[in-house]
């Protein structure tokens, strides 16, 4: 993180701009470590964490209990509020973390039911797409589903609006999305578009940027902050696109405004949701589904299916319907696998407790 962002805060009052509030303070009082310092994780470097506190920026590591006693998705992520024991000059040991809220997850690559925490205590998520060959409305739907699952507000940011593109075609493809969430057309070369986006961010609000590599997330963050707070790379001469720069989730502060979290670009964003039924509402299929003859209609080949009737009549876009079926299968698979994993973990925990009891009774 740049020195400009390593602001030294003299009291907890200054942490309010990072989102600290009375509710968090009450949660801290419930911890056995309530007498220690607290702060918010701004960057995660594998086993090292940068924590912004009321007394400055601390480089922290985890206690053994936290490192080995928690699953990967429970370990601190960018945006988490943690309690730590300071030692030496601006170094510390994280001993506890406050319960998470509004956490953006994704399914961990190469696994069936494991998930990865991307950022926590998020108020808004900017889904960034670029108006070039990267534009993919199906990817937007995927992000929207996961974001709304955690009660985080979604915003679609269509970046690189200075390029030539068919606006009418784009607006037609996203009409089922723009009816639900705000949409911004932006370009770092068009100041008025950045100003409009900046006005949508309130003081103390945390906004996470998600999207594929090369869509310009880091450049947008720099433009919103009006200074270079994140590294960016030059445009590739061979592809005409920005090269992927971000390799970690990093939190920066906008002057007199909100908190921004940049994330590395992802090729794959697997769903990690427990309620596959929520897909119908996000993709605007629920209104049709309520009219189906059968309450447990799967919308595939059942008689009296209002969803299929809407597709056949052209009222519901077939591509949106196909995306719904694909995402529902993926969400159901994760949910079922997660349920089975929890069942096994519960059985294992019960077995361990029985062994401990036997030893204690000898």
Beta-bridged to residue 56, according to DSSP, are: 53
215 among the known binding-site residues?
A: yes
Q: Tell me the Cα Rg of the chain.
A: 23
218 among the known binding-site residues?
A: yes
45 among the known binding-site residues?
A: no
- Among candidate residues 157, 148, 137, 99, the one with its CA nearest the CA of residue 331: 148
State the distance between the two ends of the chain, measured CA to CA, in whole angstroms: 55
305 among the known binding-site residues?
A: yes
Contact 323, 141 (CB under 8 A): yes
299 among the known binding-site residues?
A: yes
219 among the known binding-site residues?
A: yes
Give the separation between CA 12 and CA 10, rounded to whole angstroms.
7
Residue identified by tokens 């200074």 is: 227
Residue identified by tokens 């096994």 is: 344
211 among the known binding-site residues?
A: yes
| Chain centroid to CA 302 | 36
What H or E segment, with its residue span, contains residue 55? none
187 among the known binding-site residues?
A: no
213 among the known binding-site residues?
A: yes
- Output the six-digit token pair for 311: 């597709």
214 among the known binding-site residues?
A: yes
| E runs forming strands in the chain | 37-45, 48-53, 56-62, 81-87, 91-97, 104-107, 115-119, 124-130, 153-159, 183-185, 206-210, 250-253, 259-262
159 among the known binding-site residues?
A: yes
CA atoms within 13 A on the CB side of 205: 15
Give the separation between CA 60 and CA 311, rounded to whole angstroms.
54
DSSP string, 6-17: ----SSGGGGGG
- Among candidate residues 222, 259, 269, the one with its CA nearest the CA of residue 242: 222
Quick one: DSSP state of residue 11? S
Binding site for Zn(2+): residue ranges?
Answer: 292, 297, 299, 305
Q: Which residue numbers belong to the known binding site? A: 159-162, 211-219, 292, 297, 299, 305
List binding-site positions for GTP: 159-162, 211-219
């Amino acid at each position: 993180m740049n020195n400009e962002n390593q602001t030294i805060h003299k009291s907890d009052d200054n942490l309010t701009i990072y989102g600290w509030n009375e509710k968090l303070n009450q949660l801290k009082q419930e911890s056995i470590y309530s007498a220690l310092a607290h702060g918010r994780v701004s960057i995660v470097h594998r086993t090292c964490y940068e924590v912004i506190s009321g007394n400055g920026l601390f480089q922290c590591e985890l206690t053994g209990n936290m490192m080995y006693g928690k699953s990967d998705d429970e370990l601190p992520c960018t945006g988490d509020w943690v309690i730590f024991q300071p030692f030496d000059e601006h170094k510390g040991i994280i001993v506890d973390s406050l319960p998470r809220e509004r956490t953006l997850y994704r399914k961990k690559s190469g696994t069936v039911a494991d998930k990865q925490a991307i950022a926590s205590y998020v108020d808004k998520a900017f889904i960034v797409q670029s108006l070039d060959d990267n534009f993919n409305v199906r990817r937007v739907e995927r992000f929207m589903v996961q974001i709304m699952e955690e009660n985080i507000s979604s915003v679609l940011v269509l970046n690189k609006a200075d390029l030539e593109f068919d606006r009418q075609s784009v607006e037609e493809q996203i009409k089922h999305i723009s009816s639900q969430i705000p949409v911004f057309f932006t370009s770092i070369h068009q100041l008025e578009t950045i100003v409009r986006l900046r006005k949508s961010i309130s003081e103390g609000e945390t906004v996470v940027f998600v999207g594929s590599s090369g869509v310009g997330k880091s450049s947008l963050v720099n433009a919103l902050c009006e200074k270079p707070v994140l590294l960016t790379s030059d445009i590739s001469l061979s592809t005409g696109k920005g090269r992927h720069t971000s390799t970690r989730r990093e939190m920066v502060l906008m002057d007199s405004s909100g908190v921004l979290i940049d994330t590395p670009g992802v090729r794959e964003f697997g769903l990690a949701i427990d309620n596959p039924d929520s897909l119908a509402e996000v993709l605007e299929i629920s209104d049709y589904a309520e009219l189906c003859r059968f309450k447990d209609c799967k919308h595939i080949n059942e008689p009296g299916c209002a969803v299929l009737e809407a597709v056949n009549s052209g009222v519901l876009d077939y591509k949106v319907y196909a995306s719904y079926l694909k995402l529902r299968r993926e969400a159901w698979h994760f949910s079922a696998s997660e349920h089975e994993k929890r069942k096994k973990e519960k059985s294992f925990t019960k077995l361990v407790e029985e062994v401990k009891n036997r030893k204690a009774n000898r």
